[in-house]
Amino acid sequence: MEYQIKPAQGKLGILIPGLGAVATTVIAGVEAIKKGLAQPVGSLTQMGNIRLGKRTENRYPLIKDFVPLAGMEEIVFGGWDVYSDNVYQSAMNAKVLEPGLLEPIKAELEAIKPMKAVFDKSYVKNLDGTNVKEAATKWDLAQALMQDIEQFKKDNNCTRVVIVWCASTEKYTEETAVHQTIEAFEAGLKNNDPNIAPSMIYAYAALKSNVPFANGAPNLTVDIPAIVALSKELNVPIAGKDFKTGQTLMKTIVAPGLAARALGVRGWFSSNILGNRDGLVLDDPENFKTKEVSKLSVLEEILNADMNPELYGELYHKVRINYYPPHGDNKESWDNIDIFGWLGYQMQIKINFLCRDSILAAPIVLDLALFMDLAHRAGMDGIQEWLSFYFKAPQTAPDLKPEHDIFKQLIKLQNTLRHIMGEDLITHLGLDYYQELVEAL
């Protein structure tokens, strides 16, 4: 397949539903980086390298020099929130970044004021905002979002826009009839079907506006047949769900290592305390359930009990999240891992990660925005499974098991970049080097 990638010309708008801790950390970060005040650490697009060709060729360009991505200077931010605080005020409230870092970019951040949100309290009980759109139907709300996108594009002179959902986790829901086809979904928008969540209205409006949509929270959103079909029909990429940060990031680094060494795992107890607004929302059991399902899926896939019942058949996996305001955005997690080795002898691993959630999530938002824009310009539509690297619960085609192992996810991402750029894929076989040596003798 030949990819004709359109050049990244003009401004790229990154629109974010939910201008809270994660969103303000990425926006402030990009503005600070533009001014040379900080480095984009943790961003694969900005600081990661990719090997091309044979190991002997020594070609390891930066990813941003290999694929045509939008430059930092070309990015413009905007978004929606149920609170009317501008991005500077919201960043100050979130307390992720130091006031000293925010001061030199205060004017840029104050200029970004949230548009009125599409919000339904029955999906997020613990929030009460007033910066909310009023309309008779969900269909009208979708039209209003489309107008917002169009207006933003015009006002900021953008050639392209992408959306990354950074709003609160919605309550746990499962697919119903209204999610099955585009026709059923559109009828549901018109008759206010309660099973259509606000995040789905944003996703629908994005696709109808030719705007790629990535979902950073664990809610269903784009992970329903109607939205998948729409993204194929309109040739717009989608991706999700739930940014892979903190504890799950560690899990998908450590578990593949244990499985690689054929070590057994009997138990994995994960607990977290966090005190930001995300923690407050997750304090409601219905919203916690959405997160729990997303977090639990990871180990089951990496430590496949069906394939290896002797090693993983007894695995007991538990995840707890507790709201603890004094910690703010500085989440603390503890993992107790009961493993066993040769002849069944038991061992334990303890991980105590004092992480900063939004510091880990911000570069993911930036990378997703840039890669989704690249995918769109390359003519890739539907589910972008090659971006699984960034998600706790990667979206896949129906009946296809997601890949959770972070190392396999990275190989897939890099090979996709090589593929669309017409470079050889890398298998890591390496036997040809030795064959060449033999032939040279």
Ligand X SMILES: NC(=O)c1ccc[n+]([C@@H]2O[C@H](COP(=O)([O-])OP(=O)(O)OC[C@H]3O[C@@H](n4cnc5c(N)ncnc54)[C@H](O)[C@@H]3O)[C@@H](O)[C@H]2O)c1
In single-letter form, the type of residue at position 384 comes to: Q
The interface with ligand X within residues 264-323 (CB under 6 A) comprises 276-278
Beta-strand runs (E) in 259-410: 264-274, 316-323, 332-340, 346-354, 382-383
Binding residue (CB under 6 A) for ligand X from 29, 198, 237, 328: 198
Cα gap 8→74, rounded to integer Å: 9
Q: 223: burial class by Cβ within 10 Å (0-12, 13-18, 19+)?
A: buried
From candidates 272, 358, 414, 416, binder to ligand X by CB under 6 A: 358
Other residues' Cβ atoms within 10 Å of the Cβ of residue 166: 29
Q: Which of residues 399-428 bind ligand X (CB under 6 A)?
A: none
| Residue 243 binds ligand X, judged by CB under 6 A | yes
Q: Is 124 in the site for ligand X (CB under 6 A)?
A: yes
Positive or negative: CA dihedral 177, 180, 184, 185: positive
Q: Which stretch binds ligand X (CB under 6 A): 58-66, 167-175, 186-194, 425-433?
A: 167-175
Minimum Å gap between C-beta 303 and ligand X is: 22
119 binds ligand X (CB under 6 A): yes
Smallest gap from Cβ 85 to ligand X, in A, equals 8
Given 83, 88, 152, 389, the residue binding ligand X (CB under 6 A): 83
Query: Burial, 164: exposed, middle or buried (Cβ in 10 Å; 0-12, 13-18, 19+)?
Result: buried
**Residue placing its CB nearer to ligand X in the complex, 173 or 276:** 276
367 forms part of the interface with ligand X (CB under 6 A):
no
* Dist CA 419 CA 31 (whole Å): 32
Q: How many residues does the chain have?
A: 441
Contact 96, 21 (CB under 8 A): yes
Residue with smaller CB distance to ligand X, 292 or 373: 292
How far is it, in rounded angstroms, from Cα 43 to Cα 35? Answer: 17
Q: Which is nearer to ligand X, 23 or 142 (CB)?
A: 23
Tokens of 84: 């009317």
Indicate whether 220 belongs to the interface with ligand X (CB under 6 A): no
Q: Which of 131/180 has CB closer to ligand X?
A: 131
- Residue 206 lies near ligand X (rule: CB under 6 A): no
142 makes contact with ligand X (CB under 6 A): no
